[in-house]
Amino acid sequence: MGTRSLVIMGVAGCGKSTLAALLAQELGLQLVEGDDHHPEQNRQKMQAGIPLTDEDRAGWLDRLAQSLSEYPEGLVVTCSALRRRYRDRLRAAAPDLRFVHLEIEPEEALRRVSSRGSHFFGPGLVENQFATLESPAQEPGVLCLRAIDPPEQLAAQISAWLR
C-alpha cells in the first residue's frame, strides 16, 4: 500500500496553510508547513523581493521529501510545488503521493498576499509565482480546486476524493 500523504500546492496566497491545517486535523495526520523549511538565505531573498531559483529551491524540496519519507503512515505538506520537476522530486520520496492544487486568479492571490502583514513572502513575488507555475492538471494523483471556495468545503471535497 502507498502513502496517505498529500501536498497542498499552489501559488502564494492560495490558502495552502489554512486548508492543510484543517485537513491534517480531520485526517489525523502530521502537518509539515513548507515555509518553515526554507533556509534563512531563501527567506532573506524573498523578503527582499528576489524570486527563488531552482537551485534555491533544491535543498528545500529535499527537506520536504525527507519529511515525506519519514512518515510512511501519511503527512499533509504545504508546498508551492510550482514545477513538475519539483512535484516529481516529492513523488520520489512517497509512493502514491497526491497533490491538491488550489487554483486562484492572480488578482486575488495578490490581494491576499498584500493583506498578510508580516509574512516574509511579499506581494512583489506573486507575479513570478504565476510565471513559474506549470499546471499539474494532467498529472496523475492531482485534484484541482478553486482556492476561493471555503476551506471547510475544500476539505470535504478532498476527503471524498481520498476515499
Hey, where are the domains in the chain? 6-162
pLDDT of amino acid 88: 97
CA 69 to CA 72: how far, in whole Å? 6
pLDDT in tens, 24-40: 999 999 999 998 999 99
In this structure, whether the domain defined by 6-162 belongs to CATH 3.40.190.10 is answered with no
pLDDT of amino acid 109: 94
Cell numbers linked to 47? 523578503
Does the pLDDT of residue 119 top 70, yes or no?
no
Which ranges constitute the DSSP H helices of 29-122?
A: 40-47, 54-70, 84-93, 106-114
pLDDT in tens, 47-80: 888 888 999 999 999 999 999 999 988 999 999 9
SS3 33: strand
**pTM of this structure:** 0.93
Contact 22, 152 (CB under 8 A): yes
Q: How confident is the prediction for the chain on average, in pLDDT?
A: 92
